[in-house]
Structure 1
Amino acid sequence: MAEADVTSSNPVRDICDYDLLFDCVHCGLCAEACPTYVVTRSEMDSPRGRIYLMKSIAEGRIDLDADAARHLDLCLGCRGCETACPSGVHYGRLIEGARSFVERHHRRDVVDRFKRRAVGAIFPYPNRLRALLTPLKVADRLGLRPALRAITPRVIRDWLDLLPPLEHDSRPLAGEATIAPRKDAPTVVVHHGCVAQVLANSETLNSERLLGAAGYRVVQLEPTTCCGALDLHSGNASRARDFARANVRALKNSGADAIVSAASGCSVAIAEYGGLLEDEPEFAEQARAISSKVRDLSSLLLDAPASSKREFQCRVTYHDACHLAHGLGVREAPRKLLASIPGVTLIEMTESDLCCGSAGSYNLTEPAMARELARRKADNIVAIGADCVVLANPGCEFQIAAELRRRNSKIKVVHLANFLAMASQ
Structure 2
Amino acid sequence: MLGEHLNSDESRGLLLAIDKMREILHGEKITLPEIVVVVFAAAGSTIYVYRRVFHLHQTLTDHKSDIKHLLPFGDEHLVSVDESNTLRVWDIQSGSVYLSLEFNTQNFHITSLLHPATYVNKLLVTSRQGTMQLWNIKANKLLHEFFTNDTKSNSITTIAQSTVVDVVAIGYNDGQIRLHNLRYDETLVTFTQDFNGPITSIAFRLDNIPHMATGSSTGHICIWNLDTCHLISQMRQAHKECAIASLHFIPGEPLLISNGSDNALREWIFDMPDGQSCRLYRERCGHSKSPRCVRFHDNDIILSAGNDGRLRTFHTILDNLSRCFGRTTRYKWELELNENDDDNNENENTEQPLPIVDLRCEVIKENDWDGIVAVHENRRRISAWNYIRATRSQHRFEHERFATKVYHNVDVVATCCDISPCGNFCVIGYSTGHIDMYNMQSGIYRGSF
Is TM > 0.5 for Structure 1 vs Structure 2? no
Determine which structure has greater relative contact order: mean sequence separation of CA pairs < 8 Å that are 6+ residues apart, divided by chain length: 1
What TM-score does the superposition give when structure 1 sets the normalisation length? 0.22
The structure with more helix, counted as a fraction of residues: 1
**Structure (1/2) with the larger strand percentage:** 2
Instruction: Give the TM-score, by structure 2 length.
Output: 0.21
